Structure 1
Amino acid sequence: MLIVANYHYIREDFSAAYPSIFGLTSQQFQKQLEQLSKFGSFISQEDLVSYPTRASEKNFFLITFDDGLKEQYELAKPVLEEMGIPYISFINTSNFSDNKVSLVHKIHLLRSHIAPGELLQQLVLETLSEKEIMAAVKHYNYDSKENALLKYLLNFKLSIQQQESFVEPLFAEIFEEEKVAEELYFTEEMLQELHKKGVLGSHSHRHLPLGRLQPSEVKKEMHKTQAFFLARFGKKASTISYPYGSRDSCEGIQEIVQKAGFELGFSMERAANASLDEDSLLLARYDCNDLPGGKNNLFGNEDPFKLAALRQWHI
Structure 2
Amino acid sequence: MLIVANYHYIREDFSAPYPSIFGLTPSKFKAQLEQLSRFGNFISQQDLLYHPKRAFEKNFFLITFDDGLKEQYELAKPMLEEMGIPYIFFINTSNFSDKKVSLVHKIHLLRSQVAPKELLQELEVNSLSEIEEKAAVKHYNYDSKENALLKYLLNFKLSLEQQKKFVDPLFAEVFEEEKVAEELYFTEEMLQELYKKGVLGSHSHRHLPLGLISSAEVEKEMRNTQDFFLERFGQKAVSLSYPYGSRDSCEGIQEIVQKAGFQLGFTMERAGNISLKEDSLLIARYDCNDLPGEKNNLFGNEDPFKLSALRQWHI
Q: TM-score, normalised by structure 1?
A: 0.99
Displacement, 1:55?
5.4
1:178 is paired with a residue of what secondary structure? helix
More off after superposition, 54-63 vs 218-227: 54-63
Please list, as runs of the form range in 1=range in 2, the aligned pairs for 1:1-315 lying within 5 A after superposition.
1-53=1-53, 56-315=56-315
**Stretches (4+) displaced over 3 A:** 51-55
How far, CA to CA, are the matches of 1:50 and 1:311 in structure 2?
Answer: 19
Give 3-state SS (helix, strand or coil) of 1:50's partner: coil
Matches of 1:200 and 1:214, distance apart in 2: 27
SS in 2 for 1:57: coil
Note if contact 2:54-2:277 (Cα within 8 Å) is conserved in structure 1. no
What amino acid maps onto 1:24 in structure 2? L
Residue pair 2:271, 2:308 contacting (<8 A) in 1 also: yes
Amino acid at match of 1:242: Y
Tell me the SS of whatever aligns to 2:24. Answer: coil
**Higher alpha-carbon deviation: 221-230 or 47-56:** 47-56
Q: Which amino acid aligns with 1:224?
A: N
Contact (CA 8 Å) 1:70, 1:184: kept in 2 or not?
A: yes
Deviation readout 1:80-138 (Å, 9 max, x if unpaired): 00000000000000000000100000000000000011111111111111000000000
Q: Give the deviation of 1:187 after TM superposition.
A: 0.1
Q: Which runs of 5+ in 2 are unaligned?
A: none
**Cα displacement (A) at 1:176:** 1.0
Q: Match of 2:223, SS? A: helix
SS in 2 for 1:28: helix
Write the distance in 1 (CA, Å) between the matches of 2:24 and 2:200.
21
Three-state SS of the structure 1 residue aligned to 2:10 is coil
Instruction: Flag the 1:54–1:291 CA change in 2: closer, same or farther, 3 A.
Output: farther
Q: Could you tell me how far 1:295 is from its partner in structure 2?
A: 1.1
Give the distance between the partners of 2:275 and 2:55, measured in 1 at CA. Answer: 6
Q: Which whole-Å CA distance do the structure 1 matches of 2:267 and 2:122 have between them?
A: 31
Q: Matches of 1:308 and 1:32 in 2, distance apart?
A: 17
Q: Which amino acid aligns with 1:80?
A: L
The alpha-carbon deviation at position 50 of structure 1 amounts to 2.8
> Is the contact made by 2:51 and 2:276 (CA closer than 8 Å) also made in structure 1?
no
Partners of 1:288 and 1:54 in 2: CA distance: 26
The answer to whether the 8 A contact 1:2-1:55 is kept is no
Q: Secondary structure at the match of 2:9?
A: coil
Alpha-carbon offset, residue 22 of structure 1? 1.1
Q: Give % identity.
A: 82
**1:53 CA displacement:** 4.9
The aligned amino acid for 1:190 is M
Does the 8 Å contact 1:48/1:55 carry over to 2?
no
Q: Secondary structure at the match of 2:278?
A: coil
| Number of residue pairs matched by the alignment | 315
How many Å apart are 1:51 and its aligned residue?
3.6
Supply the distance in 2 between the matched residues of 1:153 and 1:281 (Cα, whole angstroms).
27
Deviation of 1:205 (Å): 0.5
Give the superposition deviation at 1:52. 3.5
1:257-288 per-position Cα deviation (integer Å, ceiling 9, x unaligned) = 00000000000000111111111101110000
Q: Check the 8 A contact 1:267/1:282 in 2, yes or no.
A: yes
Please give the secondary structure, in 2, of the residue aligned with 1:3: strand
Name the amino acid aligned to 1:301: N
Read off the aligned partner of 1:143 and give its amino acid letter.
Answer: D
Q: Which amino acid aligns with 2:148?
A: A
